[in-house]
Amino acid sequence: MTGLLETLPAAERRRLTDARPGVELASRPMLATLSDRREFDDAWIFERKLDGVRVLAVRDARGVRLLSRNGVRLNSTYPEIVDALAAQDRADFTVDGEIVAFADGRTDFALLQRRLGISDARRARATGVAVTYCLFDLLRLDGTDVTALPLRSRKSLLRRALVHRPPLRFITHRNHGGQELLDEACARGWEGLIAKRAAGRYQPRRSPDWLKLKCLRAQEFVIGGFTEPSGSRIGFGALLLGYYEGGQLRYAGKAGTGYDQRTLRDLRHRLDELALEHSPFATPVRERAPHWARPRLVAEIEFTEWTRDGLLRHPRFRGVRDDKDPAEVVRERAA
């Protein structure tokens, strides 16, 4: 047991076990549940909700590996993060966090898009888009599995185990929160808050111990097709979106805003490669002459509300999520 772990109370040390390989621990991240809850007691802590790409990082005798939430290796996409983790004095850890791009103090997913999908480290650096790895949890330390420890203890170990200098950032928390704290976060242009049960262990699943409190409604949707552009528009007019329910892809509406010229061109090229003769949706799509696509791409969409007939109101495209498995995209409902 390392010096840091020896500082834990005896009751917590008894929870520690020898860890499985870091990559195995990182294969199933803990996920938050959307919630409308706004009143909390002191059993909860609150972190800033980030708008980026979820990444778990492993460092061991084989080096550093960055892994997306669906297991894709991202070392060549974020080489500066690999360098920062490799430079740490501690050589055995598994951490959880989110890679973001900041613009004027706010996380900017549209800016981060310029780094997504790049598999060449030189190209990634040449984009000029600076990224930050925001660390908020610790799963393994010096060969020891710490996931059974309370969250407060894991965060304390994480803060002390690594040197958090750019491009690494330790995510601090607030000990009290609710509607007032969420209002403050929204006023600052944040995505919202994540409420976490302070004594909770790290669970490799979606858990009610982590709650998403959002300023705006937003979630991922599967792209099942698109409409033709009109006027001076290039690429496509709108994306046709859906989510899975009972194993079937249900139509959720179309998003025609939020794109720049580059996105319109690039997405049209990717969708043409996924062309499909028949609709992938199990529910009707009332669009004139739509183009269908195999449901392989996932988009993050912001919207105001759901209509009574189950469609999105005022949807706006925010970016493609290459880190999300289309089969896991469902309609998020507040707990």
> What is the per-residue pLDDT for 47?
98
* Among 119, 149, 173, residue at a domain's last position: 173
- Shared domain for 164 and 227, answered yes or no, is no
Helix (H, G, I), strand (E, B) or coil at 230: coil
- Biggest distance spanned by C-alpha atoms of the chain: 70
Give the single-character DSSP code of 205.
S
- Report yes or no on 192 lying in a domain: no
> What is the per-residue pLDDT for 305?
86
- Shared domain for 142 and 14, answered yes or no, is yes
Give the single-character DSSP code of 289.
S
d(CA 71, CA 93): 17
d(CA 102, CA 122): 21
> What is the per-residue pLDDT for 331?
95
Give the single-character DSSP code of 108.
-
d(CA 89, CA 95): 15
User: If you write DSSP's letter for every residue of 11-77 in order, what string do you get?
Assistant: HHHTT-EEPPPHHHHTTS--EEEE----B--TTEEEEEPP-SEEEEEEEETTEEEEEETTS-B-TTT
Helix (H, G, I), strand (E, B) or coil at 327: helix
- Paired strand residues for 219: 301
Tokens of 55: 């990444």
- Report yes or no on 206 lying in a domain: no
The residues, ordered by sequence, that sit 6+ positions from 81 with a Cβ below 8 Å of its Cβ are 55, 57, 66, 99, 131, 133, 167, 168
How many domains in the chain? 2
- Shared domain for 158 and 81, answered yes or no, is yes
- Shared domain for 225 and 153, answered yes or no, is no
- Shared domain for 117 and 240, answered yes or no, is no
- Shared domain for 135 and 240, answered yes or no, is no
- Shared domain for 153 and 98, answered yes or no, is yes
Catalytic residue among 49, 155, 254, 324: 49
- Report yes or no on 335 lying in a domain: no
- Shared domain for 163 and 234, answered yes or no, is no
**335 residues of the chain, pLDDT tens digit each:** 468 999 999 999 999 999 988 899 898 999 999 998 999 999 999 999 998 999 999 999 999 999 999 899 999 999 999 999 999 999 999 999 999 999 888 888 889 999 988 999 999 999 999 999 999 999 999 999 999 999 999 999 999 999 999 999 999 999 999 999 999 998 888 889 999 999 999 999 999 999 999 888 889 999 999 999 988 899 999 999 999 999 999 999 999 999 999 999 999 999 999 999 999 999 999 998 999 999 999 999 999 889 988 999 999 999 999 888 999 999 998 87
> What is the per-residue pLDDT for 189?
83
Strand 31-34, strand 206-214: pairing: parallel
- Shared domain for 132 and 261, answered yes or no, is no
Assess whether 49 carries a catalytic annotation: yes
- Report yes or no on 273 lying in a domain: yes
Give the single-character DSSP code of 234.
-
Q: What is the CATH number of the domain that holds 83?
A: 3.30.470.30
Determine contact, residues 167/130, Cβ cutoff 8 Å.
yes
User: If you write DSSP's letter for every residue of 123-179 in order, what string do you get?
Assistant: HHHHT----EEEEEEEEEETTEE-TTS-HHHHHHHHHHHS---TTEEE---BSS-BH
- Shared domain for 167 and 228, answered yes or no, is no
Q: What is the CATH number of the domain that holds 264?
A: 2.40.50.140
- Report yes or no on 182 lying in a domain: no
- Report yes or no on 333 lying in a domain: no
Q: Which domain holds residue 290?
A: 217-328
E-state strands within 165-276:
168-170, 192-197, 206-214, 217-226, 239-245, 248-255, 275-276
- Report yes or no on 23 lying in a domain: yes
* Among 141, 173, 205, residue at a domain's last position: 173
* Among 140, 173, 206, residue at a domain's last position: 173
At position 284, the amino acid (one-letter code) is: P
- Shared domain for 22 and 162, answered yes or no, is yes
- Report yes or no on 39 lying in a domain: no
Strand 168-170, strand 132-141: pairing: parallel
> What is the per-residue pLDDT for 3?
85
d(CA 221, CA 51): 16
- Shared domain for 26 and 140, answered yes or no, is yes
**Distances, alpha carbon 311 to alpha carbons 65, 158, 220, in Å:** 40, 42, 14
CA dihedral 53, 239, 254, 241 (to 10 degrees): -60
